[in-house]
Amino acid sequence: MTETLPLDPDAAWKAFEARDRHSDGRFVGAVKTTGIYCKPSCPARHPKRENIVFYRTPEEARAAGFRACLRCVPDAVGATGSRCARGRADRGGRGSGAA
């Protein structure tokens, strides 16, 4: 069994503020006032810092009574066939910018 390091709320908040895609899949942030959890790169408006709590996994957030964001779909991070994975495959792995 592997041991996980404790989640640093300040570092997690900084990742949310920066919408850091590299942090997706490492933790989720759950908003107390809406009952929704998101991945760090979610494009939705940021909540107030005092209204967010961080969990290592979507399962932990669901167990605490939160539901997944319909905008960023945090449960699909790393999943085969997710919207992001399909989008990259549709573009042949290239970015969406024009040449």
Residues carrying an active site annotation: 38
Q: How many helices (H) and strands (E) does the chain have?
A: 3, 4
Q: Which long-range contacts (CB under 8 A, 24 or more apart) does 83-87 make?
A: none
